[in-house]
A and B are shown apart, each in its own frame.
Chain A
Amino acid sequence: MTQAKTYAFPNRNTPSDPVVIDPGVCSGCNMCVHVCVADLFIPNPDKGQPPIILYPEECWYEGSCVEHCPEPGAIELNHPLTQRVRWKRKATGEHFRV
């Protein structure tokens, strides 16, 4: 398998993607940048594009960015893999998780 280009990136901070932004829905209004408690976003230099998640590991996962987003579905919380709680359907015994 070949890639177009191989980059020399350091390891990313984890959790690396505390929120997921859908670029097809996000209007680039930067409301999430405005309300974030930890100020982990910066506006995208390209106006109208989704903000950049600069400090992902500072996320507190309280969801202000989701709550105040004017475009439903544009931004969603993405819990760390170590934080995925499980549940069981009572009638069938099937197991699920966040």
Chain B
Amino acid sequence: MNWNEYVKHNGVPEWPYPIRYEAESTVETDVLVLGGGIAGCWAAISAARRGVAVVMVEKGATITSGGGGNGCDHWINTPHPDSPITAEEVVEWELEYSGGYTNGISRYIAARESYETLLELEQMGAKIRDTEDEFIRAPFRDEKTKFLFAYDYKNRLHFRVWGSTFKTALYKTCKQLGVNRYDRIMATGLLTADGKIGNRVVGAVGFHTRTGEFFVFRAKAVIDCLSRHQRNWNFSLELKGVPTLRPPTIVGDGHAMAWRAGAEFTMMERSLPTSFGSGSGYPVYGHGNALNTWFPCNMVDAHGKKIPYVDRDGQILETEVERSLPAADQKFLGERTTAYTHKRPELIPDLEARVRNGEFALPLYADLPSMSAPERHAIWGLMVGEEGKTKIPIRNTYSAAGFDPNQDLLQSYMFLGGDPMRGSVRPQERTGGEVGDAGGLLVDWNLMSNLEGLYVAGDAIFAANYHYHAAATGRYAGRKAAEYADKVSRLALSRQQVSQEKARVYAPLNNGQEVEWKELNAAICKVMQNYCGEIKNEELLKIGLIWLDDLKRNEAPRVQVDNPHKLMRTLEVFNILTCCEMIMHASRARKASTPLLGFFRQDYPEIDPPEWQKWVTIRLEAGGVKTATLSLDFWSPMAENYEKHKS
């Protein structure tokens, strides 16, 4: 029932949950996992299996929460016994397409452990094989193992999976292992030894988003599984539509609290244009296209004329299977890359020009009916359905509306300004990284941050990757944190730090009533678009920081908060503001331009000068923001370091 209808007949309802502002509960544990998404559940399971007590704190409901909560269709970059590709080769192509700006630690850990992680998931009850023989004798099926593969049918590095079964399996396993779950708790701050910035992390605090009750968690080790920053350049709930890839509730809560505690970050200056999250787009994977989940779909123009696929050399590929095989002299196909070595077949690169000259008439369509039955069923039945956000909103909703993949052409919005898969509406509408490679916490080979006791997993790590990476790094961080917890004792908490954070959390309850949290978020985005957008310089960034500080001091205290839910939304926006300040600081520190990070400084226009091919790091100290640089391959040598640290 919508609210207006209810109010018309019954009056304004009272808040349905008991209000317990200021009430405080303390919880003690060995390992505290912040975030119950994919990385969080894996971290919790992995730590619990090592015999330590685990508490997991989740802002939503663990059974559904997180960027991968609804599933995934590809389990990528996974070397296994029946694939000739090694973990080293996987990271090599990631380094190639990122120009070196990737995470050799977490990507290598994921490549080494993702196959055993996937098999472990199957033991929990998830579906990872074609056990019903739906795809028998399909060119992407291994008849012995019943595994299905994507993108490269020869090298079989990327699995097609039934990801909608994953979160339920993880959730049940957490329950079986006695992971103590605290749902609907928004973690707001980390606690450090003696309450000092930069010291060992000894716990965290948060509040219940329905009752407002305050929670203090005391732990030997903490794992940040709270994903990344979002809603920094783009935010409009009213016009957002359906296209965001991750839940808008992922805002960088973990980044903001780790920053305040003194954690070191890198890659925060990266941003790229996006129309994800823009009302101009259409539902992700819910429109005709030939990328990712829809690869290698046949595409046609308005008259049914086929749009060719070409290989990396521009040779036209006639058949569906050819699109999923490497070229004769190509080692393997990367999951996504523009670099030549591992480049996948794609639609003709001059398609736009050929549309403009009338060769292909708009609108374009995805032509599923012309595809072979296994490929058609793989795209519409399996991939669109198992991908995180497509089962209910796309496959089921479209089917209920009458869409039939056997006889219907799904419209594409390419060249109509509505394709969320292919770039932005305006260059200043940006993201830190929609599908990976965003800035985040710097980690070592234990997946520990610079703060002792604070481990990191999933998208919170800098230059993270998809679902497989969240799972594998969660699993790794969980066991490292458990090992650490076995060796150390719980430290006393600083009552002063707890009290200060409690006061900060509840302060908005005494706010004025003039501004809605949504407006503040939109205003922050406007500042970022104007002063930290496509073109940056020192003066713009300085004005941007002044503007953000102004919003923090003068407008944030005016945000209206009338219940714990709106308190959560308001504190999220405060965290977004903090993340934007971090982006501005990192942008000021990089005094060069590089398209590899989507970063252009008008005052330092030289592209990729050798002396700036390095990481910029930022952290907060008692005296202010501290910036530094780090060699791009600080994690080398991968195999040696992995062997030394794994357990």
The residues of A with any CB-CB pair to B shorter than 8 Å are: 7, 9, 12-17, 21, 23, 34-39, 42-45, 49-58, 60-64, 66-68, 76-77, 79-80, 82-83, 85-91, 96-98
Contact = CB atoms under 8 A, between A and B. Distances in A.
Interface string B400-411: 111100011111
Given A85-B287, A87-B410, A97-B401, A34 B70 contact: no
B233 to A, nearest CB: 19
Given A39-B60, A50-B1, A67 B13 contact: no
Interface-centre pick from B6, B209, B241 (highest chain A CB count, 10 A): B6
Contact of A60 (B248, B407, B569): B248
Chain B CB count within 10 A is highest, among A21, A62, A89, for A62
A27 to B, nearest CB: 14
A12 B5 CA distance: 11
Main secondary structure of the interface of A (DSSP, over half): loop
B249 A62 contact: no
Contacts of B241: 80, 82-83
Contacts of A56: 2-3
Contact of B238 (A43, A57, A79, A86): A57
Contacts of A76: 397, 400
Given A35-B64, A60-B247, A82-B239, A45 B411 contact: no
B247 A38 contact: yes
B473 interface: no
Given A37-B60, A37-B249, A45-B14, A58 B393 contact: no
B297 to A, nearest CB: 14
A45 B6 CA distance: 10
Given A34-B61, A37-B69, 13 more contacts: A35-B61, A39-B210, A43-B16, A49-B1, A60-B248, A63-B391, A64-B69, A79-B393, A87-B408, A88-B409, A90-B369, A90-B407, A98-B398
B242 interface: yes
B409 A79 contact: no
B64 A37 contact: yes
B392 A66 contact: yes
21 contacts: A37-B60, A37-B69, A43-B16, A44-B1, A50-B1, A57-B238, A61-B389, A62-B64, A66-B392, A67-B70, A67-B391, A77-B397, A83-B243, A85-B287, A85-B398, A85-B410, A87-B365, A87-B408, A89-B407, A96-B403, A98-B403
Interface centre among B61, B244, B279, B396 (most CB of A within 10 A): B61
B103 interface: no
A64 B389 CA distance: 10
Determine chain B's interface SS by DSSP, over half rule.
loop
B237 A61 contact: no
| Size range of the chain B interface in the assembly | 35 or more
Contacts of A23: 1
A56 B127 CA distance: 33
Nearest to B404: A89
Contacts of B65: 37
B409 A90 contact: yes
Contact of B13 (A37, A52, A60): A52
Listed residue (A39, A43, A66, A91) with the most chain B CB atoms within 10 angstroms of its CB: A39
Nearest to B401: A98
B282 A58 contact: no
Q: Which of A23, A76, A86 has the most CB of B within 10 A?
A: A86
B388 interface: yes
Contacts of A88: 365, 408-409, 411
B282 A85 contact: yes
Contacts of B401: 96-98
Contacts of B184: 39
Contacts of A83: 241-243, 282-283
A7 B4 CA distance: 10
Contacts of A21: 1
Contacts of B369: 90
B554 interface: no
B2 A62 contact: no
B8 interface: yes
Given A14-B238, A63-B393, A85-B411, A42 B13 contact: yes
A15 B241 CA distance: 8
B565 interface: yes
Nearest to B366: A87
**Nearest 9 pairs between A and B by C-beta?**
A63-B392, A64-B64, A57-B237, A83-B241, A86-B411, A61-B242, A87-B408, A88-B409, A83-B242
A36 to B, nearest CB: 7
Given A77-B392, A88-B365, A53 B411 contact: no
Contact of B397 (A58, A60, A79, A90): A79
Nearest to A86: B411
Nearest to B402: A96
Given A39-B184, A52-B1, A87-B410, A62 B279 contact: no
B523 to A, nearest CB: 17
A14 B8 CA distance: 19
Interface string B226-253: 0000000000011101111001110000
A58 B237 contact: yes
B63 interface: yes
A76 B523 CA distance: 33
Given A62-B389, A97-B401, A53 B409 contact: no
Given A63-B391, A83-B242, A39 B209 contact: yes
B283 A85 contact: yes
A78 B13 CA distance: 24
A67 B392 contact: yes
B10 interface: yes
